[in-house]
Amino acid sequence: MNLRKTSSYFLSLGLALIALALMSAMPAAAQNLTGAGSTFVYPAMARWAADFQQAHPGVKINYQSIGSGAGIQQVRNHTVDFGASDVALSDEQLREMPAVVQIPEVAGPVCIAYNLPMLHQPLKLTSAALSGIYLGTITRWNDPAIAQANPGVNLPGSAVLVAHRSDGSGTTGIFTTYLSTVNGQWKQRVGSGISVNWPVGLGGKGNEGVTGVIKQVAGGIGYVELAYALENHLPMAAIENAAGQFVEPSPAGVAAAIKANSAVLAKDVRTPIVNAPGASSYPISGFTFLILPKDGPNAQTRQALKDFVAYILAEGQATAAALHYSPIPATMQKLDRQLLGQLTAGGRPLR
């Protein structure tokens, strides 16, 4: 090799090594995760995303609070990395979906919030009264079915103005599952699901929309997640449970409902936990589920997704409790981690 060729060779080698060193020094490309679905879980999801991003600056998480039905649709259409729904997918729905893993991420109460400024103590509602309100057979606040459970309370004779979700909603799924469980007429006439034909009422989009309707309309009543009711200073009814006790919505009441259903949940985490037995169980309780495609093409994105979900199932549970949700019990967390282990990228296991 002559001197000129030797010099050219080492110059090329040197430039290649410099380029390699520069590439090694460059930060890894950010991993963008997109999720969509449940408004019920949005307060927790927003906090989880912010905390995880702070600890993992290479990951950006965008969660769209658009309702469980829309979130499921986006997972079906492969337009998001994960979805969230307050109602688990049925066997029939799963046959129409890409292969997914459903992981309970947190639980919470569906609260019955109302706008009656003249009341100075929590309203009590039996299952019959609440069903009657949503069936449209109870139209005045001083109806005997309401008054009987609230002795000594001066209930107004004004109209009951019902609010419900206008979008496909997992919160609706939990609420209508409860009504179908406790009222045969509701089950036969309306049924349960993320979207139903409401006999009466005014629709609002998302938990935010229903909260807005209740606040704006004197005599209004509607169903929302606990964080929305607390943030908007809305009073919440105590609901009669299966044991005949009037229980106000709380994480403790949800935890009692989970415990009462532990045996059936061990067989299928999709089992509803509404109208659970036990004196302290809150009767309109439910899980919200992460819906994760089992496989995806990008290994880095898929690993970031798995790490984020692992965070939710560990450190994120303490955050959820601070935001008035009920954490997943340790036994279910173990099952969730096993389900999370099914995620792959290009058919290959993740770490």
What value, to the nearest 5°, has the Cα angle with vertex 190 and ends 172 and 285? 35
Q: Is residue 120 helix, strand or coil?
A: coil
Q: Which residues contact 14 (CB under 8 A, 6 or more apart)?
A: none
222-243 mean pLDDT: 96
93-108 mean pLDDT: 94
State the Cα–Cα distance between residues 105 and 287, nearest whole angstrom.
7
Is 20 a residue whose pLDDT tops 70? no
In this structure, are residues 56 and 158 in contact, taking their beta carbons and an 8 Å threshold? no
- For the chain, domains (ranges, CATH) are 31-108+286-349 (3.40.190.10), 109-262+271-285 (3.40.190.10)
In this structure, are residues 128 and 295 in contact, taking their beta carbons and an 8 Å threshold? no
Quick one: pLDDT at residue 30?
Answer: 76
Pick the range with the lowest mean pLDDT from 7-11, 194-198, 235-239, 335-339. Answer: 7-11
Quick one: pLDDT at residue 3?
Answer: 44
- The more confident residue out of 30 and 213 is 213
State the Cα–Cα distance between residues 187 and 64, nearest whole angstrom.
32
pTM: 0.89
Could you tell me the two tokens for 98?
Answer: 């890409």
Q: How far apart are the first and last CA of the chain?
A: 48
Q: What are the φ/ψ torsions at residue 268 (nearest 5 degrees)?
A: -155, 110
Q: What is the maximum span of the chain, computed from C-alpha positions, in angstroms?
A: 108
Is 4 a residue whose pLDDT tops 80? no
With CA atoms as reference, report the closest residue to 110 among 273, 265, 266: 273
State the Cα–Cα distance between residues 175 and 180, nearest whole angstrom.
9
Residue range 125-179, pLDDT digits in tens: 999 999 999 999 999 999 999 999 999 999 999 999 999 999 999 999 999 999 9
Residue range 246-289, pLDDT digits in tens: 999 999 999 999 999 999 998 999 999 999 999 999 999 999 99
Quick one: pLDDT at residue 15?
Answer: 44
Q: Among positive and negative, which fits the CA dihedral 191, 194, 199, 200? A: positive
Is 68 a residue whose pLDDT tops 90? yes
Quick one: pLDDT at residue 64?
Answer: 97
Is 24 a residue whose pLDDT tops 90? no
Is 6 a residue whose pLDDT tops 90? no
State the Cα–Cα distance between residues 270 and 255, nearest whole angstrom.
16
